[in-house]
């Protein structure tokens, strides 16, 4: 191995990386590199459907949150007619930031520089000195806030910077089948328990996206303390049981972990299970009732985890769901947004317990999250060193495996749950975007 300045043009690196993925290899360099980060901003996050917010964060007219797609700050707002918009958080006059809060309610946004005023929907309605200054030359309707496409699935609001991109429904494709496990817990669906945990980490967003695309492999070691204290119904020897499912060509993937003798829909409240048995499709019921852990990633950077958990080890526990967005904030640097989703139809005691389970396990102080981020910051740090630029990692689990023919759901399902197949699919889609072929 030699260490040297890397003369390889980025396009060649992308091409050889895509070849490597097909052979079960992925380069360390991808996880901390300024050029790769810049290419992701340009070719991936400006083309893909990116998660913005959950509808329950902005339930009423005028409610807004500010969020990012790539490095663009957006106001995600519900207008007076109930329609959701995402507009660039920038005044069209001289570029000042319109909205300096990350959450609130407003019928209008007024710029603090020269006073241009917009309806919350983004239309320009107020311009000081309109007559004296602009003498009739400024047409208000041409100077509204810059709009971003918004579409939703079951309460999840996504934005896309590419006007030519496919619809969100097509983008998510068959992965909607699996998202329903998180989003259709009972007839009334889910809501956020409150604003997200929000922190910054010297971690590449892709490490998190991959881990949550179904990395059952890390759990018995990275979270060994949890097995040690008796938190898991599975043991190290049975933890590999379950399905790894991916949607080919889309990048999305989910791990569905099983345990021996796990009760059907274990951890859900009974009344929600009744709802789910009737409102979900028979195929969804067949997959979900067996599932203990469901950990999935919507390409590129939105993930979900559902897990039965108890506040003290050894009790049946409740299901908590965390939804997380990995906002790339620079090479090897990210902002984490981490929400807890609770079933709207559950009683308050269940919601509160599920939320406390979330805070104990995940979120910034969560005992499982803590160990993950310790590992992930170390991976990121390794990835920037010069020798590592020439190093690939193995992604060869499940290379020769045939899909499970009995699996009732869409996509490609492999056993065991401990598998790299979802990750090859994830990085393959990432490669398509970086090559400009998505």
Residues found near other proteins in the complex (CB under 8 A): 100-104, 193-203, 222-225, 228-229, 311-313, 335, 355-356, 359-360, 363-365, 367, 369-371, 373-377
CA distance 403 to 288: 18
Nearest CB to other proteins, comparing residues 94 and 100: 100
Q: How many other C-beta atoms are found inside a 10 Å radius of the C-beta of residue 350?
A: 18
Q: Where are the beta strands (DSSP E) in 13-116?
A: 25-27, 50-54, 63-69, 72-78, 84-88, 103-105, 108-110
Q: Which is nearer to other proteins, 104 or 410 (CB)?
A: 104
Q: Which residue, 57 or 180, has its beta carbon nearer to other proteins?
A: 57
> Which residue lies nearer to other proteins by CB, 113 or 225?
225
SS (H, E, C) 168-190: HHHHHCCHHHHHHHHHCCCCCCE
Joined together, the tokens standing for residue 296 give: 């999935």
- Closest distance between other proteins and the C-beta of residue 334, in Å? 10
In contact, 202 and 380? CB cutoff 8 Å: yes
- Comparison of 222 and 435: residue with beta carbon closer to other proteins: 222
Nearer to other proteins, 55 or 180 (CB): 55
Structure token digits, residue 167: 């619809």
How far apart are the C-alpha atoms of 119 and 429, rounded to whole Å? 38
Closer residue to other proteins (CB): 140 or 333: 333
Q: Name the residue among 341, 286, 284 with its Cα closest to residue 318.
A: 341
CB of 383 to other proteins, least distance (A): 15
The SS3 of residue 354 is helix
CB 281 to other proteins: min, Å: 33
Inter-residue contact 435 to 427 (CB < 8 Å):
no
State the CB neighbour count (10 A cutoff) for residue 27: 21
Name the DSSP class of 12.
H
Instruction: Provide CB contacts within 8 A for 292, sequence distance 6+.
Output: 233, 234, 242, 257, 258, 259, 262, 266, 307, 308
Instruction: Pick between residue 103 and residue 138 the one whose CB is nearest to other proteins.
Output: 103
- Shortest Å distance, C-beta 272 to other proteins: 21
User: For 133-142, b where at least 16 C-beta lie within 10 A, e where not — what string?
Assistant: eeeeeeeeee
Smallest gap from Cβ 97 to other proteins, in A, equals: 12
For residues 11 and 200, which CB has a smaller minimum distance to other proteins in the complex? 200
Cβ 12 to other proteins shortest distance, Å: 33
Give the C-alpha distances (Å, rounded to integers) separating 75 from 104, 109, 212, 262, 314: 11, 10, 27, 44, 44
Nearer to other proteins by C-beta: 177 or 362? Answer: 362
User: Considering the complex, what minimum distance in angstroms separates the CB of residue 275 from other proteins?
Assistant: 24
Element (H, E) at 96: none
Q: Residue 351 Cβ, how far from other proteins at the closest point, in Å?
A: 10
Minimal distance, residue 325 CB to other proteins, in Å? 13
Between CA 119 and CA 158 the distance in angstroms is: 21
Determine whether 260 is exposed, middle or buried from the number of CB atoms within 10 Å of its CB (0-12, 13-18, 19+).
exposed
CB of 352 to other proteins, least distance (A): 9
């Amino acid at each position: 191995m030699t260490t040297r300045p890397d003369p390889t043009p980025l396009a060649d690196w992308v091409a050889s990386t895509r070849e490597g993925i097909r052979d079960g290899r992925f380069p360390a360099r991808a996880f901390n590199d300024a050029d790769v980060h810049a290419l992701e901003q340009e070719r991936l996050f400006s083309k893909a459907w990116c998660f913005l917010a959950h509808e329950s964060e902005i339930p009423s007219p005028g409610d807004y949150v500010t969020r990012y797609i790539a490095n663009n700050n957006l106001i995600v707002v519900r207008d007076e007619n109930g329609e959701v918009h995402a507009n660039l958080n920038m005044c069209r006059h001289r570029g000042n930031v319109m909205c300096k809060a990350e959450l609130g309610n407003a019928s209008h946004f007024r710029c603090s520089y020269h006073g241009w005023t917009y309806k919350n929907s983004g239309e320009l309605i107020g311009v000081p000195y309109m007559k004296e200054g602009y003498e009739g030359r400024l047409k208000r309707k041409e100077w509204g806030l810059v709009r971003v496409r918004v579409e939703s699935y079951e309460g999840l609001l996504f934005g896309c910077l590419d006007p030519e991109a496919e619809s969100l429904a097509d983008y998510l494709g068959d992965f909607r089948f699996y998202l329903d496990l998180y989003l259709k817990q009972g007839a009334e669906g889910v809501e956020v328990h409150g604003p997200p945990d929000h922190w910054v980490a010297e971690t590449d967003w892709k490490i998190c996206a991959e881990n949550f695309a179904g990395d059952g492999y890390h759990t018995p070691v990275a979270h060994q303390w949890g097995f040690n204290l008796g938190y898991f119904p599975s043991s190290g020897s049975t933890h590999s049981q379950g399905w790894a499912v991916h949607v080919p060509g889309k990048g999305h993937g989910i791990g569905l972990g099983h345990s021996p003798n796990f009760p059907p829909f274990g951890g859900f409240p009974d009344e929600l299970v009744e709802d789910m048995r009737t409102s979900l499709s028979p195929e969804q019921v067949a997959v979900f009732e067996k599932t203990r852990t469901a950990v999935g990633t919507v390409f590129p950077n939105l993930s979900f985890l559902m897990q039965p958990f108890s506040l003290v080890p050894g009790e049946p526990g409740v299901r908590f769901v965390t939804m997380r967005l990995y906002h790339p904030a620079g090479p090897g640097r990210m902002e984490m947004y981490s929400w807890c989703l609770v079933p709207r139809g559950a009683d308050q005691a269940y919601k509160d317990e599920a939320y406390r389970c979330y805070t104990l396990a995940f979120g910034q102080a969560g005992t499982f999250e803590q160990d993950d981020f310790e590992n992930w910051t170390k991976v990121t740090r390794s990835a920037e060193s010069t020798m590592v630029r020439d190093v690939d990692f193995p992604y060869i689990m499940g290379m020769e495996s045939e899909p499970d023919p009995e699996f009732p759901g869409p996509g490609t399902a492999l056993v065991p749950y401990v598998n790299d197949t979802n990750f090859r699919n994830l990085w393959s889609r990432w490669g398509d975007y970086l090559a400009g072929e998505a």
